[in-house]
Chains A and B, each alone.
Chain A
Amino acid sequence: MTAPRTRHAIVAATASALALAACSGGGTGDDGQEVTLWMYPVIADQAASQEFWATAEADFEKAHPDVDLQIELQTFDKRDAQVSAALAAGSGPDLVLITPDQAATYQAIGGLLPVDEAVTDSRDAFYPAALDSATIGDELYGVPIFQNVFTTAYNTAVFEDAGLEPPRTWDDLRAAAPVLAKKGIAVMDYAGSPEQTLNLSFYPFLWQAGGHVFTDDGADVAFDSPEGVEALQLLVDLQREGALTPDAATDGPAVEGAPIARGEAAMRATTSLTEYGQLQAAVGDDSAALGLPLTDAEQVTYGNAGLLALTSINDESNRQAAYDVLGFMSTPDFQASLNAAAGNLPTRTDVAVDESDPAVASMAEALDLAYPGEPSPASRQVMAALAPTIQAALRGDMSAEEALAAAAEESRQILANTQP
């Protein structure tokens, strides 16, 4: 073993060399009263986001005058790279906003610290599912401060013109596909880019077919099951008959400027509230509608909690200050204001959902059918193995079965390599 100081010097130097997306971390002060938090664009409007978090910072410091809170607004682009480079260099945030599957990955590599003590008094107020998504072993590795859910969104005008009802099930989807394809319209868009999380592309179809990504004990992958093949075959069939957008294998999740916004695709299987707003702006309020998740064997979609996690950079000298920030950002008042600004949903039972907004009400309804994903230390690696073979199947280079078998073989090697 190398001496700690030398080790850190080597690591810091190497992280600099590897840091393709270099970042500057806030770091913590020696007085133990400075806390750095990396926040991401959960509030889509940049100006509104800056104002909201500046106010949050000021309000917290007013309530805790001995703590200097630095909220640094980052972008989602290359988030893993940015966070890991900062952690490796030992210079980054005390607190960072992550998703449950990222929490599992970071926890497995020693990048996170438990936060149970931050919510000792308020634990019972959280929805159990929200806490479960952040619980690894018996410890909580992130305080859920909001929930997002991704559900179906339709361009109803397209379906009306074709004399069709918006699809609610896979059978509806299969029936509508050829009718719309004849008119040169894709029944659905699909984001096959490898940089897109499969939680928002393939996995909802896998879960709807009754399949899973991992086995129950997490020791093996399970997506190469008959249910997995059925899910991928659905997409392959749709692509073959022109019922997915032409570039579905490589498209990203954007709405603005995409086929869905131009009326060249009729629906999305997974849409956030922000994306729904963009769809409304593109096709008109009267032509945009949200629905419940698609149904096959199961009716399910992806929904995740936004977790405020404590990184291994934080030390004991400002641990309590970090807990204070976590406590502040999980209060009912703060959650309500964040929900209003970001259009997301609360993680506490004592925070009301704004049912007066039909879109928020639809999202709240879909939340009951949301699945928080399958957190695993290897979840991101498995996605990286699976996404390219899904592309291969969509391009016709492989059959659905071959694609999943190839990805499963690579994933099993990944799981073997990631064993502690």
Chain B
Amino acid sequence: MSTTATSPAPTSPTSAPRGRTPRSDARRRARRREAVAGLLFVLPTLAIFVAFKFVPIAGAGAMSLTRYRLSGDVSFVGADNYTRLLADDAFWASLQVTLLYVVLFVPLILAVSLAAAALLDAQVRLSGTFRSLLFVPYLSSFVMAGIIWSWIFATDGPLNAAFDAVGAGPVPFLSGSQLLVLASLAVVSVWKGFGYSMLIFLAGLKAQPADVHEAARIDGAGAWQRFWRITFPMLRPVTFFILVIETIVGFQVFDTIYVMTGGGPNRVSHSLIYMLYDQGFKFFDYGYAAAVGIALFVIVLLLSLVQRRLVEGKEPA
């Protein structure tokens, strides 16, 4: 066996720095061109994001440091709005409402959308029809869903009529304890929103290699074992994405509450976004409303980072 020594390509010390060759320069230029082309491609989207996302966020941050009147008078008040926020019992109560709602809503929507996706993945006949049908609630408006579910949950509504028939009613779904009211609202939001997460889970399931499942089946693993030991772990990136998205959706709950309970009864469903709405658009206290918005932004950001750390920490090596 012989080896052939290959001499390095001749380089001119004056034409190129040490270690750089015309080929690597060309590659670098090509990469730079690709980067510029890529930047140009994303530039329109980036511009839209900057104009309609980042600038308003920065604007809200700036406004949270002011007292603003509709007449255009603005006075800088420093951190006064935040100091007031921290001392405001209503803020802490709304934060508690929001956290409790998120705790009820997020696991429920994950479970329902994953279960629906798993059923659709297993279903062969008419799966397209079922997929479309299950997605229909997502296309309906929150207001319409709220009105329909208000009727369903009413003391004299059909659900309580069914409970009455078995001697269990009436259940005060929208006027009872905080847990019951928020759980009822979470059910409506899950009904309305699970179609989106279901489709993402379904895409994740369809992308899983069949041979892994086949090997597990040959090895004697049951359906339940295959789901928990193979399917679900392989869905971790998808699950994380949905977890983050639905957590944000949970923190931003408004329309369902607005239509169904108006933040009541006795503020048991007065979420942070509802507080922001009240302060900004009922009381015209824009600076304070902006402070609520920024506080919510920070909370969601921190929570998303924690979620990411937790999920990444469990990623298989």
Residue among B62, B71, B264, B266 making CB contact with A109, cutoff 8 Å = B71
Among residues of A, the one whose C-beta sits closest to the C-beta of B285 is A417
Question: How many Å lie between the Cα of A10 and that of B293 in the bound state?
Answer: 15
A250 within 8 A of B: yes
Binds B, one of A128-136, A171-179, A360-368, A380-388: A380-388
10 contacts between A and B (CB under 8 A): A2-B74, A10-B62, A17-B56, A84-B70, A109-B70, A193-B261, A249-B265, A250-B175, A391-B265, A395-B175
A13 within 8 A of B: yes
B70 contacts A250, CB within 8 Å? no
Q: A18-B290, A20-B254 are in contact. Are A11 and B265 (CB under 8 A)?
A: no
- Residues of A contacting B76 in the complex (Cβ-Cβ under 8 angstroms): 1
Q: Mark B140-184, 1 if CB is under 8 A from A, else 0.
A: 000000000001001110000000000000101011000000000
Among residues of B, the one whose C-beta sits closest to the C-beta of A394 is B265
- Residues of A contacting B290 in the complex (Cβ-Cβ under 8 angstroms): 14, 18
Pick from A17, A80, A410 the residue with the most CB of B within 10 Å: A17
* Residues of B271-310 contacting chain A, CB below 8 A: 273, 276-278, 280-286, 289-290, 293
A195 within 8 A of B: yes
Q: A249-B265, A392-B266 are in contact. Are A7 and B72 (CB under 8 A)?
A: yes
* Residues of B17-66 contacting chain A, CB below 8 A: 52, 55-60, 62-63
A1 contacts B74, CB within 8 Å? yes
A18 contacts B265, CB within 8 Å? no
Residue among B75, B154, B280 making CB contact with A18, cutoff 8 Å = B280
Q: Contacts A14-B59, A111-B284, A414-B283 known; list 14 others, CB within 8 Å.
A: A10-B59, A11-B63, A14-B63, A16-B52, A16-B56, A17-B59, A17-B60, A88-B286, A249-B265, A312-B71, A381-B283, A384-B282, A410-B90, A417-B84
B278 contacts A384, CB within 8 Å? yes
Among residues of B, the one whose C-beta sits closest to the C-beta of A14 is B59
B282 contacts A80, CB within 8 Å? yes
A194 contacts B175, CB within 8 Å? no
A10 contacts B284, CB within 8 Å? no
B206 within 8 A of A: no
Question: How many Å lie between the Cα of A331 and that of B70 in the bound state?
Answer: 31
Question: How many Å lie between the Cα of A191 and that of B154 in the bound state?
Answer: 14
Question: How many Å lie between the Cα of A79 and that of B70 in the bound state?
Answer: 16
* Residues of A343-375 contacting chain B, CB below 8 A: none
Residue among B59, B71, B264 making CB contact with A387, cutoff 8 Å = B264
Among residues of A, the one whose C-beta sits closest to the C-beta of B266 is A392
B266 contacts A17, CB within 8 Å? no
A20 contacts B71, CB within 8 Å? no
B68 within 8 A of A: yes
- Residues of B contacting A380 in the complex (Cβ-Cβ under 8 angstroms): 282-283
Question: How many Å lie between the Cα of A410 and that of B72 in the bound state?
Answer: 28
- Residues of B contacting A15 in the complex (Cβ-Cβ under 8 angstroms): 286
B69 within 8 A of A: yes
B265 contacts A388, CB within 8 Å? yes
Among residues of A, the one whose C-beta sits closest to the C-beta of B283 is A381
Q: A109-B70, A111-B71 are in contact. Are A246 and B265 (CB under 8 A)?
A: no
Among residues of B, the one whose C-beta sits closest to the C-beta of A246 is B155
Count, chain B residues at interface, CB 8 A: 52
- Residues of B contacting A13 in the complex (Cβ-Cβ under 8 angstroms): 55-56, 58-59
Among residues of A, the one whose C-beta sits closest to the C-beta of B286 is A88
A194 contacts B156, CB within 8 Å? no
B240 within 8 A of A: no
Among residues of A, the one whose C-beta sits closest to the C-beta of B280 is A18
B293 to chain A, nearest CB (A): 7
A20 contacts B282, CB within 8 Å? no
B204 within 8 A of A: no
B82 within 8 A of A: no
* Residues of B64-100 contacting chain A, CB below 8 A: 68-76, 84, 90
Q: A1-B74, A4-B72, A20-B254 are in contact. Are A246 and B262 (CB under 8 A)?
A: no
- Residues of A contacting B71 in the complex (Cβ-Cβ under 8 angstroms): 109-111, 312
- Residues of B contacting A193 in the complex (Cβ-Cβ under 8 angstroms): 261-262, 264
Question: How many Å lie between the Cα of A84 and that of B156 in the bound state?
Answer: 37
Pick from A7, A8, A85 the residue with the most CB of B within 10 Å: A7
A200 to chain B, nearest CB (A): 14
Question: How many Å lie between the Cα of A410 and that of B155 in the bound state?
Answer: 31
A68 within 8 A of B: no
Q: Mark B252-272, 1 if CB is under 8 A from A, else 0.
A: 001000100111111100100
Residue among B58, B72, B278 making CB contact with A11, cutoff 8 Å = B72
A389 within 8 A of B: yes
A105 within 8 A of B: yes
- Residues of A contacting B69 in the complex (Cβ-Cβ under 8 angstroms): 109-110
Question: How many Å lie between the Cα of A1 and that of B73 in the bound state?
Answer: 8
B142 to chain A, nearest CB (A): 11
Among residues of B, the one whose C-beta sits closest to the C-beta of A378 is B283
A78 within 8 A of B: yes
A259 contacts B70, CB within 8 Å? no
Question: How many Å lie between the Cα of A192 and that of B174 in the bound state?
Answer: 13
Question: How many Å lie between the Cα of A302 and that of B154 in the bound state?
Answer: 29
A195 contacts B281, CB within 8 Å? no
- Residues of B contacting A247 in the complex (Cβ-Cβ under 8 angstroms): 154-156, 172, 174-175
B72 contacts A397, CB within 8 Å? no
A249 contacts B56, CB within 8 Å? no
A81 within 8 A of B: yes
Residue among B73, B263, B281 making CB contact with A194, cutoff 8 Å = B263
Q: A87-B70, A250-B261 are in contact. Are A78 and B281 (CB under 8 A)?
A: yes
Closest 10 CB pairs of A and B: A110-B71, A17-B56, A81-B281, A13-B59, A14-B59, A195-B262, A392-B266, A246-B155, A194-B262, A111-B70
